[in-house]
């Protein structure tokens, strides 16, 4: 089975969309997505600097739009019927919802616009941030995070937990890291997936009735517990709730492994989730779709998994 995964905030880099503009129709697609997002995605994906695209209100729509463009380039046919499971990390869960047909592209961009703006306002209320804790004993890491007054906002793997809280709390953890662990501050502008983001939830709850949801065409995993969401309504509920509750990517990877995933494709801006898969999913073949040049390898991986399915039914 193949997993298609969609990265979260912090994976963006200046100019990362530039190579995609060489593909026919991408500039027009970005213009359409920009209208729904209410920002100039073309400019931010090509010429804006790192500090500009760190802004939550820009980063989140930019990442979702990039994933949608890469997915459209990768998939020559609907996902339904293919041996595929889809998951997204944090804001990438919105991308995942769109490519599984749970939300339309327009509704996905409307949702991420509201999410990004609400989280940006919440982040501005108190200077907050996030830091990855890499290595160390898992129990000692969690104890150190709690001791600093931080929240384990992203539990990405046994060897990587992301702590979130005030900048003073982050600084305290950096100054006194857990034994045999490194603490790496992340390029994000808030303590996402913690109580600091609770004000953003209300806006998404108010938006929800205006969105149309559909049952995912292939299994779609939730960041809450790594489980397969049973319906479009449940997927939307999960998307809203994850704004202020931890992302359990470790459980998503556990589910993928239990489902028999042997190959994994990460959509643009790729790299983070393939890295976690290489360390946390033994023997999985991965392709990080960073530029259009990576599409051929990704399509080969997709075709190989489809061929396995066909051989198994003969």
Known catalytic residues?
90, 193
Q: What are phi and psi of 195, to 5 degrees?
A: -60, -20
Alpha helical stretches, state H, the chain: 26-37, 41-46, 50-54, 56-74, 92-99, 105-125, 138-147, 167-175, 198-207, 232-241, 249-258, 272-280, 295-313
Q: Is the four-CA dihedral 126, 127, 133, 139 of positive or negative sign?
A: negative
- SS3 label, residue 159: coil
Q: What are phi and psi of 132, to 5 degrees?
A: -85, 130
Region of 93 (left: φ > 0; alpha: ψ -120 to 50; beta: rest) is alpha
- Spatial separation of the C-alpha atoms in residues 250 and 280, rounded to whole Å: 8
- Sequence-distant (6+) residues with CB within 8 A of 215 are 102, 231, 232
User: Does residue 259 contact residue 213 with C-beta atoms inside 8 Å?
Assistant: no
- Spatial separation of the C-alpha atoms in residues 256 and 263, rounded to whole Å: 10
- Spatial separation of the C-alpha atoms in residues 275 and 253, rounded to whole Å: 12
The alpha carbon of 263 is separated from its chain's Cα centroid by a whole number of angstroms, namely: 18
């Amino acid at each position: 089975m193949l997993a298609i995964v969609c990265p979260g905030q912090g994976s963006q880099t200046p100019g990362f969309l530039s190579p995609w503009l060489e593909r026919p129709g991408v500039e027009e697609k970005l213009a359409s997505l920009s209208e729904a997002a209410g920002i100039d995605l073309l400019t931010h994906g090509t010429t804006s600097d790192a500090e500009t695209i760190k802004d939550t209100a820009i980063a989140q729509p930019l990442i979702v739009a990039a994933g949608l463009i890469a997915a459209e380039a990768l998939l020559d046919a609907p996902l339904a019927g293919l041996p595929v499971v889809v998951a997204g990390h944090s804001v990438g869960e919105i991308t995942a919802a769109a490519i599984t047909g749970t939300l339309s592209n327009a509704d996905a961009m409307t949702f991420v616009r509201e999410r990004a703006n609400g989280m940006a306002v919440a982040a501005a209320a108190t200077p907050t941030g996030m830091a990855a804790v890499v290595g160390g004993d898992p129990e000692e890491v969690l104890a150190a995070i709690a001791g600093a007054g931080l929240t384990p906002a992203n539990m990405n793997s046994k060897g990587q937990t992301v702590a979130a809280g005030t900048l003073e709390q982050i600084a305290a953890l950096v100054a006194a890291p857990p034994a045999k662990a490194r603490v790496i501050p992340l390029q994000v502008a808030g303590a996402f997936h913690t109580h600091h983001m609770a004000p953003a939830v209300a806006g998404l709850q108010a938006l929800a009735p205006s969105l149309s949801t559909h049952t995912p065409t292939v299994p779609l995993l939730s960041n809450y517990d790594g489980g397969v969401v049973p319906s479009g309504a449940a997927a939307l509920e999960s998307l809203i709730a994850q704004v202020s509750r931890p992302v359990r990517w470790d459980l998503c990877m556990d589910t993928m492994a239990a489902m028999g995933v042997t190959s994994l494709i990460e959509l643009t801006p790729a790299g983070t989730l393939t890295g976690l898969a290489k360390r946390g999913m033994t023997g999985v073949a991965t392709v990080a779709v960073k530029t259009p040049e990576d599409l051929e390898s990704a399509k080969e991986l997709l075709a190989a998994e489809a061929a396995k399915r066909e051989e198994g039914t003969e």
